[in-house]
Amino acid sequence: MARTLARKLIDDHLVDGEPVAGHEIGLRVDQTLTQDATGTLVMQELEALGLDRAKTEVSVQYVDHNLLQADEKNAEDHAFLRSACRRYGLWFSKAGNGVSHPTHMQRFGKPGRTLAGSDSHTCAGGSLGMLAIGVGGLEVALAIAGEPLHLRMPEIWGVRLTGSLPEWVSAKDVILELLRRHGVRGGVHRILEYHGPGLAGLTAMDRHVIANMGAELGATATVFPADDAVRAFLRAEDREADFTELAADEGATYDVEDEIDLGSLEPLVAKPSSPGNVVPVREAAGTPVDQVVLGSSANPGFRDFAVAAAIVKGRQTADSVSFDVNPTSRQILVDLTRAGHVADLVAAGARIHQTGCLGCIGMGQAPAPGQTSLRTFPRNFPGRSGTTDDAVWLCSPETAAASALTGVLTDPRGYAADHDLAHPDLTPPARSAVNTGMLAEPLPAEEAAREELVKGPNISGLPEFDALPDRLEAPVLLVVGDDVSTDEISPAGARALPFRSNIPKLAEFTFTRIDEDYPRRAAETGAHFVVAGSNYGQGSSREHAAITTRHLGLRAVLAVSFARIHGQNLVNFGVLPLEFADEGDRGRISAGDTLVLDGLRDALGGGELTVRNTTRDEEYRVTHRLSERQVEAVLAGGRIPLLART
């Protein structure tokens, strides 16, 4: 039977379960990726698991998020991460070496491998023909320890590409088109697999742009074939020997199908405050722009900066615009410098920042309240920029650069025509500026065993959580709507991020973007419920959104539906995720109502439960999608207590 590429990758790594959509499967993990905003918890989890040495082919810890060192906290985290890499046998990528996703693609990504990362944009690795999946930190820790990655078998969504991109339209507009069609829930429990003749015009880094933002569709992973474009990329990285040709079988069929004629696309933009709020640039043209930021893992490649440099070359950005450039890897910065593009950007008024995520995670570059910030980033959730009343728009580098020059949202096609600007040849270097000097290799096992973990005062231990009681009676402390993101549950930004290793302190920020008083009330109340709408917990994979709420007493969330990663993170830390059997029941519950779940240990085995609202004298049917393995974990109070018991 003809197989899709995604199915081949799953079959090659399947160690448990049947690959039938909706059923739980277990996959062998070849590589892992962690970054500093999530990695400190992963390293604490490795310590709690009693790991001696990493059992994966490759595991890499990147420092790319918490780069601002306004005080000692981020530096303490970096020292801890380095010591943990030395102790457990991981690679360590120093601060300034690059954003994890493009840097991993350059140095470690291999066609045919599986990659699990404690960052939702790990799916960018699918650009090389990998099965790359973003998960919670505990999943990554278990993978490093040699355990399979368990997840619900996704549907395979085939996206056929035809034609070629017009001038001034690029890969960002491809993924924005899918978000325009399907929104932020369109890819939930699906793997996107791109195929068709249109692939021939997309480089490996173009594919990275598209694969990266599969996370914004809610997809489990994105897969591209490993073809001549991937071979050329690996050749430029001095790694052609790592190339393996991979593609779907001829005649393979997909569970879901879609098609994009690349030639029909136009510049698109996601308006505030959702990646799914997409319109053509021409419809919003003329909107005043106050800040433009280039960079992030969503547009990390050589051409993404080079095309912007070509547009602004010999010109000056509008005096009303702050024009910020965040290079995404050290070697791409070197390539851009050698080609003269950095000089062109600087001459046009750009502020060149250090290599890293920065404004994408709210670590600096926060805009003024209400001012329009136009970014080549993957996300624009409310407040993610670090400014509560922000107005962040997502676009391509072409749209960003043209708008930086005019001071208003501008269609790059119109700008090019009005200024007689020829489309540039942006062929990346045949050989990249390969430099492995900022990557520290794993220590030999004997030397690693003598290493001590370096823990500063801001690094707390993991909280100890008790088992789920058989009877749960507690108030509803918070009722929220649809598409609540993990940014809104556990905020990023320069104020909160330095406490990612200090759960009690980080808990003080929990839900404050929705309800400033939640941490105080939760700490005083203890056990409680949260009621939510659809796609609860979308966005970042940060397990902090589960740990801090559990630390403050959250025992169960009743929602219409859950985002994949956050639903699993809740289970990992003993919070019960339940879904309304009747969506209308969500509106019948108010903050302050007391809910009762009785006989949980028996009821969870059946898949359907009854919740009593004693305040309103009502009952609601709720269901769960947990496997037997997940039920066992949530009853034990989480995966770590369960492992400690066995």
Residue-range domains of the chain with CATH: 12-153 (3.30.499.10), 268-418 (3.30.499.10), 472-645 (3.20.19.10)
Let me know the angle formed at the C-alpha of 401 by 361 and 310, rounded to the nearest 5 degrees.
120
* Cβ burial, residue 279 (10 Å; 0-12/13-18/19+): middle
pTM over the 0.85 mark: yes
Sequence-ordered alpha helix ranges (H) in 544-638: 544-551, 564-572, 600-603, 628-636
**pLDDT tens for each residue of 66-116:** 888 888 888 999 999 999 999 999 999 999 999 999 999 999 999 999 999
* Cβ burial, residue 286 (10 Å; 0-12/13-18/19+): exposed
Helix (H) or strand (E) holding 142: helix 137-144
**pLDDT tens for each residue of 288-300:** 999 999 999 999 9
Angle of the 628-636 helix axis to the 564-572 helix axis, nearest 10: 50
Backbone angles phi, psi at 560, to 5 degrees: -70, -40
Q: What's the sign of the alpha-carbon dihedral 395, 218, 254, 202?
A: positive
- The three-state (H, E, C) secondary structure of 492-531, written as one string: CCCCCHHHCCCHHHHHHHCCCCCCCCHHHHHHHHCCEEEE
Helix (H) or strand (E) holding 327: none
Per-residue confidence at 616, pLDDT binned at 50, 70, 90? very high
- Strands 221-223 and 256-261 come out as unpaired
Q: Are 513 and 463 in contact (CB under 8 A)?
A: no
What residue type is assigned to position 512 of the chain? Answer: T
Interval 263-278 mean pLDDT: 97
Interval 27-48 mean pLDDT: 95
How many angstroms separate the CA atoms of 471 and 599, rounded?
Answer: 6
Backbone angles phi, psi at 550, to 5 degrees: -65, -40
Mean pLDDT of the chain, nearest integer: 95
Sequence-ordered alpha helix ranges (H) in 145-226: 171-182, 204-212
**pLDDT tens for each residue of 337-352:** 999 999 999 999 999 9
How many angstroms separate the CA atoms of 448 and 441, rounded?
Answer: 11
Residues in the chain: 646
Show the tokens assigned to 569.
């993170």
End-to-end CA distance of the chain: 41
pLDDT of residue 154: 97
**pLDDT tens for each residue of 580-610:** 999 999 999 999 999 999 999 999 988 789 9
**pLDDT tens for each residue of 503-555:** 999 999 999 999 999 999 999 999 999 999 999 999 999 999 999 999 999 99
